[in-house]
Structure formats: structure tokens, C-alpha cells
Structure 1
Amino acid sequence: MSAAIRFHGELAGLMGPAARAKGLAYPLDRRASIKDVVEALGVPHSEVYAIEANGRPVDFGYLLEDGAQVDVHPAKPPVDVTKATLLRPEPLPEARFVVDVNVGRLANLLRILGLDAAFDNAWDDENIADIAMSEGRIVLSRDRDLLKRAKVVHGRLVRAEHPEEQLREVLHLFGIQGPFAHFSRCLRCNTPLVSVDKQAILHQLLPKTIKYYDVFSMCPSCGRIYWAGSHYEKVSERLRGLGLGLGPEARKTDEERR
């Protein structure tokens, strides 16, 4: 007894050697859901966006039957996480992220664009999965085991290695095109920044900063202060290189550490 399973598109590259060796004829030596089987073959459920059994759409709970022909499909960008689907019947209110340490620099780039990206390099897989579930966040990681956790509903197994390409990958997949609120979040703790009067923070500024800058923002959570200093143009150039140039919120500033 067996079922034939075919992975389409980019999912084919995620299959394990054992799956390829068996030619995807999966032996039915136990009752198993298609979700369990897909993950046993090396593909996290977060990467699957449609499943058909004998041409009929099914969900992750579908139990494999002898002779079944199963087709497993990847995402078709743009993915709208605010819309319910058969595999993800509970949509998210918006695209918000929680980022694993193995793509930690991606969190910083997302925050620079003003996108909500929770990150702490002390979080382990359990912490990240709990946050994803409780706060309705999309997990970004290169760790397949993390993305196989039941608490992870929305996620992306990031393929790109370099942070800028990772950012392109995520924006493309989830159809995030802006306009972006550049430099509107704290790069340390992800909290939205607020404008702060220069006179109120003079005691925290260096003499040259007091002399040359007048517009400041502050993180209401950690107290970090931001302004358009020398780092501003460097980050701006990176964004222009990615086609993600600055918009009206550019005045919210780059980070200058005192």
C-alpha cells in the first residue's frame, strides 16, 4: 500500500534524499496525515500553500489512502496573510514578523523600513513559536525544525544567504511594496518612535550633535535617541540599491549612537 506524492515548484528542492530515492511512492505502513508525511520528507508545513488529493483540495489533516495521487504546491506570491485559506483558515490582521537568530540581520532591515519585526538573539525555538502563536506573527528562519512546530502557522524558510537578498525575498513573497515608514521603529527593540523636543534631551547629546541637528526621535520603550546623522546616508544608499528609497518619513532619522 502506498501513495504517490509530487512536490511542485521550489518545494521539490526541499525534499530529503530518502524521498527522492523512493521516487515519492510513500509506503502506507501507518495512518498518517499529509502534514506529517510532508514534514517527514523534509518540507516544513509553512512552505505548503495548497494540497490536492486525486485532484481534490484537502487540508493538512487529510489521511493518506492507498493509491492516492497527492500534489503539494508552494506559495504563489504575493501571499496575503490577511485572507483565510483552506490550509490557514484563521487569517492574520496584518503582516508582522518574528525573526530567528539565524537571519537576525534581516530583522534590522525590516525595522529600518518601518515593518514590525520582533527579534531577540536570546530566544530559542520554543520562544519564537510561542510568540508567533500568541501575537499572530510570521516566522522567518532558516531552521526547518522550527518551522515544523505546530504553533507556527505562517512562516518562511528563508532561502537567500545575504541580508539584502533575504529582505527582497520576504517582501516579494508577502507582496509588501510600501510606502514604507523608513526609520520609524527602534532598531534595538522594535518599538515605534515618537518625536521628541531637542531641549528635553540636550543633556543626552554630544556638543556636535547639539550644534548640527535639530530633529530627533526617541524610543518610548528603551529611551534610545535617533537623528539623521552620518550613518543616515550609508543606510539610505543601501535602501536605494534595493529599490526601497526613502519616502516622507525619512526625517524620522538614522541611528547615531552617543
Structure 2
Amino acid sequence: MGVGLRVEGALWGFLAARHRCDEVWVRHDGTSSLGHVVESLGVPLPEVGRLVVGGREVTPSYRPEAGEVVRVLAVRRPQVVPSQRFLLDVHLGTLARRLRLVGVDTAYENDLDDDALIVRANAERRVLLTQDRGLLRRRSLWLGAYVRGARPEEQFTDVLERFAPSLAPWTRCPACNGPVAPVEKDEVEGRLRPGTRRSYDTFARCLVCDHVYWRGAHGAHLEAIVEEAERIVAAAALPQAK
């Protein structure tokens, strides 16, 4: 007899189609940890909030006995993390720019391999955001999370709903994550095209990479992204206020 797993519906996306049911029975050798059993079905442990056996919560290191039934519950949202600082893997560049736009501390480089990502996430205590399940299974990673969604809009919503981070729109450079501060027009005028000099008077500059910003033709689109982000975070944070 094996071990029964009752996987919460929020985690079914990680399961093979044949396992998406109320209760899955899997073979158990009597020595493997519960965490190993859960991950063998495709569910990364960072996505698991609680493991419950016989009404009591257990840790992933628990060794289940034959015939036991385990409830596998997803991480509750919004998830409280030690640090609202993030590191994104190489496939999430657009998401990184959107998070920076709304002022979330977001590190991103498009040339880091898995080992380098883990080293940086651990050293800087950043939550690693990825769609690589194998990366989330690395025991050396201090904290990670799977990003749901195929499109950047879906990924952005998922991260905001999951973490409800504090927002500070227009304070970070979308290009490098550095702080952005207002700058007088005459300080950057020589770097502007004639049309920009004639049409705009309010500018900001990144204090790290020196990139200059202004509310151009794309400003309305960016403002809509910021407004939607604020709405999502406000809604996501409501359970914490109860």
C-alpha cells in the first residue's frame, strides 16, 4: 500500500492530467521523505504552504507510513516573505521591467545560469522568481516562487497577487533597477532630441545608469499599468487587514 495525497486544486497545474483528482495514491518505499513524494508528482516544495497528516501539520522531512493520507495545501496569498526583494531568471525580462516601473526592487540579468542565480539570490536575500520547476527544487536555494502565466500581463498579476509588495511607482529605473530622481531640464537638455526639448519640461534620471526619463507618448500606457498594479495589490492585501 502506498501513500495518498490530496493535492489542493491551486496546485493541480503542476500535476500530470491523470493525477488531477481528489486523491492520488503513490508508491512509497518507506524511507523517502514526504517532500520527496510530493515533488515526485511535479509540485515544487516552495509552492506548498502546509502538509497535513491526520489533522496535524508535518514538515517535508516527515516520513509517511503506508496507508496514510496527506493533504497538500498551496501557499496562502498574499505570502509574507522575509524580504520583498526579487531576482528574476533570464526568461522574465519584461516582468522585471514592469515590477521596476511600480517601484519593486527587482534584480535581473539575461546571462546568469542556474548556479549564479542561486548564489545571488542567497547572497542578497532575494526571492527567486522563475518558471523552472527544477530550479525551485534545488535545496541550496533559500527561497523561490513559481511564476504563473504565459504572458507578461499574467505574470505581473500573479506576482502582485502572491506577494502584495509595497509599491513606489516611478522611483526605479526599468533598465537597471537603480533609483530615479527628478532632474532639471537644463541638466539633460543637450541629450534630448529637438522634438522632446520642445514638448516636455519634466524629467527624471537614473542615479546609476544615467538614463533620462520623461512622460512621452507611451506615458498613458505606463500610467495604466501603474494604476492596475495599485488596484491588484490593494485587493490582494485585504486578507491581511482582517
Distance change in 2, residues 1:200/1:175 (3 Å): closer
**For residue 138 of structure 1, what is the aligned residue in structure 2?**
127
Q: d(CA) in 1 for partners of 2:164 and 2:187? A: 40
Answer yes or no: is 1:188 the counterpart of 2:175.
yes
**Helix, strand or coil at the partner of 1:101:** coil
**For residue 187 of structure 2, what is the aligned residue in structure 1?**
200
**For residue 156 of structure 2, what is the aligned residue in structure 1?**
167
| Displacement of 1:19 | 5.3
**For residue 254 of structure 1, what is the aligned residue in structure 2?**
none
| Displacement of 1:111 | 0.9
Q: d(CA) in 2 for partners of 1:43 and 1:132? A: 21
Using the size of structure 1 for normalisation, the TM-score is 0.79
| Displacement of 1:56 | 1.4
**For residue 147 of structure 1, what is the aligned residue in structure 2?**
136
CA RMSD of aligned residues (A): 2.4
Q: RCO greater where, 1 or 2, for CA within 8 Å and sep 6 or more?
A: 2
**For residue 213 of structure 1, what is the aligned residue in structure 2?**
200
**Helix, strand or coil at the partner of 1:65:** coil
CA contact (8 A) 1:132 1:151 kept: no
Gapped regions of structure 2 (runs ≥ 5)? 232-242
Deviations 1:30-79 (A, max 9, x none): 52122222111101111101111222111122122233221110022121
| Displacement of 1:128 | 1.9
**For residue 232 of structure 1, what is the aligned residue in structure 2?**
219
Equivalent of residue 103 in structure 2, options 98, 114, 126: 114
1:74-89 map, 5 Å: 74-81=74-81
Deviations 1:102-130 (A, max 9, x none): 33211111111111111112122222222
| Displacement of 1:20 | 6.4
CA contact (8 A) 2:85 2:104 kept: yes
Q: d(CA) in 1 for partners of 2:63 and 2:18? A: 21
Q: d(CA) in 1 for partners of 2:145 and 2:207? A: 30
CA contact (8 A) 1:98 1:132 kept: yes
CA contact (8 A) 1:195 1:218 kept: yes
Answer yes or no: is 1:50 the counterpart of 2:50.
yes
Distance change in 2, residues 1:17/1:238 (3 Å): closer
Gapped regions of structure 1 (runs ≥ 5)? 82-91, 246-258
Q: d(CA) in 2 for partners of 1:127 and 1:170? A: 22
Using the size of structure 2 for normalisation, the TM-score is 0.84
**For residue 59 of structure 2, what is the aligned residue in structure 1?**
59
Answer yes or no: is 1:4 the counterpart of 2:4.
yes
Answer yes or no: is 1:38 the counterpart of 2:25.
no
Deviations 1:180-223 (A, max 9, x none): 32221111111111233333333322233333333322222212
Bigger mean CA offset, 212-221 vs 51-60: 212-221
**For residue 223 of structure 1, what is the aligned residue in structure 2?**
210
**For residue 249 of structure 1, what is the aligned residue in structure 2?**
none
Q: d(CA) in 2 for partners of 1:20 and 1:234? A: 39
**Helix, strand or coil at the partner of 1:102:** coil
